[in-house]
Structure 1
Amino acid sequence: MFQRDEFKVSMALPVTAARAMVAALLVSLSVSGLAIAQVPGAAPSSTTPAPLPPLAAPTARPGQAMLTLSAQFSGNRKPIRSGLVWRVLTESADGSPPKIVARSNEAEPSFVLDPGVYLLHAAYGFASATKRVTLGAQGLSDRLSVSAGALSLAGSIGETPIAPAQLNFSIFVPLQGNSEGRLVASNVKSGELIRLPEGTYHIVSTYGDSNAIQRSDVRVESGQVTQATLHHRAAQVTLKLVAGPGGEAFAGTAFSVLTPGGDVIREAIGAFPQVILAEGDYVLIARQEGQVFSRDFKVEAGRDRDIEVIAR
């Protein structure tokens, strides 16, 4: 989901010419239930980028100076110990985009550079901070503040957790009049830690691959891990075409699950395919060797069961 050397800036930077150039360059490179817990100190994420080789080897020469960097959360001012990607850029006199001269994913990197003016950029997942500094002959130690936290998502049916393999999340930044205004991250797995700028996000949770979907808005605080659980009202049903109640299922049956209004929700082929459906009323149609059979059925949250169609 995260690419190694490019990212999306999800929080607007102050509108200055230098920062606009940096952004342009680097970008090219309600709910049935919701449980939320805040955990101070955003922990490292499984999506931490692999180490990046520096573009400028830190070998000191006469006339160079040391630039040492670190970052902190803007909310609680605690140091950020992992998950950072640093880039140091130089401004050009002809107005062309800044050029990356050094980079690192260490928490507190040091660079040996010629004295001059540099643009510092610290990326923390989808959040970032930028600063313009002047490096003198005596060297410089600087710290950037990043307004970011982390989000960890899960799902449940009642008090029963849903297996992570059956869940999929999408994260959006709401826009005025549109809760799903801009997609930030898709195919997010349960328990995965996503680093985000501080703010409110719209979460879409999909249980299975049919219509069991829940939505909620979640607030991410700077310097904290937000743990949110979305509560689904759904169940898993096993579809069968049988000669009589409790009989052996016919192989190669084509099933269609429809709403009472006739909209197709899911199609499957097999002796007993399993389908996860949202709570509600459905019509099941089974086709076998040119014959068509049907029945109505109801899905109740948390009640997994067999749905039999009698072939008669």
Structure 2
Amino acid sequence: MRVLLVTAAKRLPDLSTLYAELAKQVDLQVMRLDKQQQRNLRKSLHAVDLHSFTRVMLDLPIKNVYQQTRYLSGIEGLLVYDEDACQNYLHNSRWQGQFSRFYKRLPRARILVTGASVAARLQGEGFNVSFAPKGYDPAHQYVQPDARDLTQRDIELGFIGRTASAAYSGRKELLEALASVEPLQMLRTEPGDAYREMLNRIRLFISADVGLDEYMAKNFEAMACGCVLLAWRQGRDEAAIGLREGEHLLLYNSLGELREHIAALRLDPQRAQRIADAGRAFVESHLSYAHLAERMAAMLAEPWPMVPPATGWRGLWQRLNFL
């Protein structure tokens, strides 16, 4: 199966390892486009024989492609990979509802999103949506030999990541509330070695994906680096991913419940070590980029939806809305 992947030249986070793993599963050709090229796909892909590919996979920010549905709707075998679709349902996101409008104008495409709850809501709107969680790159995130024993780590409570965006307002509020009563360190690092080394210093990683309806990649990166993960309960996603509360991680729905978990782990360091080890083993077995590439390849091989072209006034209305 030949697959054309169209992605960003300087994509963040970098999924090069994921796509290298996908290339082991399918005959993959990768096109990396800069921002200007992304905003004119018709021109950027003009010289490409799209009919020679079984599937065309689009991994680009919606802000650069949402006005190009007239062109995209004509591509056979189109898969839209979207790691930001949770913003479709965030009241404080400028993209609330925009993902639904974008997908509606691509009736022959399949959509792959990274949240099980988000996928279910989009399916309820009638879209052909599949779910695959975000994962981690084992070449860059792993537990270091001197950090396997949690008692050797010098940061008890830590979080690494962004809080400034409006989409993360719930995260910011919860982390600041915890920091006011516990010795939480809210940290930022450069990607790569600095990020891994910092994760390997943290015993309890405080995840606060409040209101996002999915697990961000940093949860699995922290688990891969041997942290105990304390995560905001998402509801549907734990079972969809296979995470078991109390075995792979600890879940909470309030600041009080989070503090109870922290206090209990302080009294039972052996339990903390068991959860850290089990969590790391789980992500290594299920959520590395190699495992996600297998899931992605299997989905690409599935039959594609066939939507007959609309005619008459309905067809005219749709074409006008694709403009």
- Short-chain TM bin: under 0.3
Question: Relative to total residues, which structure has the larger strand share, 1 or 2?
Answer: 1
Q: What TM-score comes out, normalization by structure 2 length?
A: 0.20
The structure with the larger Rg is 1
Q: What TM-score comes out, normalization by structure 1 length?
A: 0.20
